[in-house]
Amino acid sequence: MYSCINCGFHPPVVVMDLHRKGVFKLAVSDLKAPEDFNGEHDIEGFWNSIHLEMISRGFFPSGVKNPFSVPPSYTHWAPWIGSETRTSDIVLNTEFQKVGTSSSHEAKLSSVTEDRLLDELAKQKVGVVRKLCKACNIDSKGSRFDLITRLREKMKSRQTYDKVFQSIWGASGGWSVILCPHGIVYSVKFNLRAESPRDFADLLLSWKHMPNVCVYDFARGLVAHTNLRVPDKLPFHPHEGRLAEPTEENVKAAQDGSLKVNLPWLHERMDSVNENPHPVTGSSDHYVLYDRFHEGNTKDPKDILRRIQLVPELKGWLNSQVVEQFFANMRKSNYFLSNMSPSTHVFLMRNITHHYNTVT
């Protein structure tokens, strides 16, 4: 069950986030970059292979290699998207393109991930940071700030970055999830590497109908990445997913609190003549907004036009923290899931999510 009784199979508004604690042990060196691969995965084929591994375990004694085991790989590791929500059984997972990329766009996304990793590092106890410094052959004397500063410099090396990532974040990249405002999980992606907007773009581009409003803590990065991937038919428009044209007048009006952008089709379906309108709203506009707790993270003044409170139809109604509530519910499962093999981890996570949806 991956749909909401209120939103149907194609929710017009979604909230997206990453669960950093939902990880499994995975050596980055075990992942081999594929050649001549476009990132398309057979979702039914992948999940059937996971089911086969779970069933076959009963036929092989402990210590004997299971020929049906499913190790993580860039070419056979699909997310889960409900059958009515996805475009087809072929879905996207382009994580292999996170590796060894030289494009300036991907480099920017990597730097954002590094900043987030440093934020997580700052939350660790000083003993953990000191131990990590020793593992990276860095001077482990001094204050927490001194240690983190040294690690930051050393993290410019990919080898050190991977070591810090595996120690602090977990070897895999967590769960990228998409929920409707009522708390129903529509998509789950089990990241093999550190999160980037690419993960959510993979999910959204695999949907039959992209939501009209996406709420995400790195809205600008998601728009830039997704629109670059589909330049001939921009997924996020108008105004690059902002609620209004980014003029000085609109930015100032938003800062003054006088700018309101009505989206009446969120309440009543409009008759659209545009190509590929959303079946619920009738609109072909697609916006990306910041959740309330990350509105201040951006340094671009134009991003004030991505705030939820500018939309009367969303202000006071949209719970942008619905994903955090889901993660809080999953907290009791983090420990045992993180100690399981990757295939068992994703199998149980999908089942837990299914049961979560049925009682939400």
Q: Which helix (H) or strand (E) holds 329?
A: helix 322-338
Cα angle, residue 226 at apex, residues 224 and 229 outer, rounded to 5°: 105
Amino acid identity, position 17: D
- Reported confidence tier of residue 116, pLDDT bands at 50, 70, 90: low
User: In Å, how far are 146, 251, 303, 337 from 266, measured between CA atoms?
Assistant: 50, 24, 22, 38
**pLDDT at position 340 over 60:** yes
From residue 139, how far is each of 128, 133, 150 by CA, in Å?
14, 7, 8
pLDDT at res. 112: 47
Per-residue model confidence (pLDDT) at position 162: 63
Looking at per-residue confidence, does 81 or 163 come out higher?
Answer: 81
Q: Dump pLDDT digits (tens) for 302-338.
A: 999 999 999 999 998 999 889 999 999 998 898 899 8
Domain boundaries, the chain: 104-168
Q: State phi, psi for 243 to the nearest 5 degrees.
A: -80, -20
Whether residue 188 contacts residue 22, with contact meaning beta carbons closer than 8 Å, is answered with no
Q: What is the mean pLDDT of residues 99-115?
A: 54
Side-chain-side CA neighbours of 244 within 13 Å: the count stands at 20
What is the per-residue pLDDT for 111? Answer: 44
- β-pairing, 213-215 with 287-289? parallel
pLDDT score at 131: 84
pLDDT digits (tens, 9 = 90+) for 33-80: 898 999 999 999 999 999 999 999 999 998 899 999 999 999 999 999
pLDDT digits (tens, 9 = 90+) for 263-302: 999 999 998 777 889 999 999 999 999 998 888 778 889 9
What is the enclosing helix (H) or strand (E) of 213?
strand 213-215
In contact, 160 and 113? CB cutoff 8 Å: no
pLDDT digits (tens, 9 = 90+) for 131-173: 888 888 888 888 888 888 888 888 777 667 666 655 655 456 7
What pLDDT is attached to residue 110? 47
- For residue 121, what pLDDT is reported? 75
Q: Is the pTM of this model over 0.75?
A: yes
The three-state DSSP-derived secondary structure of 66-130 is CCCCCCCCCCCCCCEECCCCECCCEEECCHHHHCCCCCHHHHHHHHHHHHHHHHHHHCCCHHHHH
Higher pLDDT, 150 or 210: 210
Q: Read off the pLDDT of residues 212-231 as tens digits, 9 standing for 90 and up.
A: 999 999 999 999 999 999 99
**168-204 confidence digits (pLDDT tens):** 554 567 899 999 999 999 999 999 987 889 999 999 9
Write the CA distances from 116 to 99, 112, 128, 216, 306, integer angstroms: 18, 6, 17, 15, 21
Q: Is the pLDDT of residue 104 over 70?
A: no
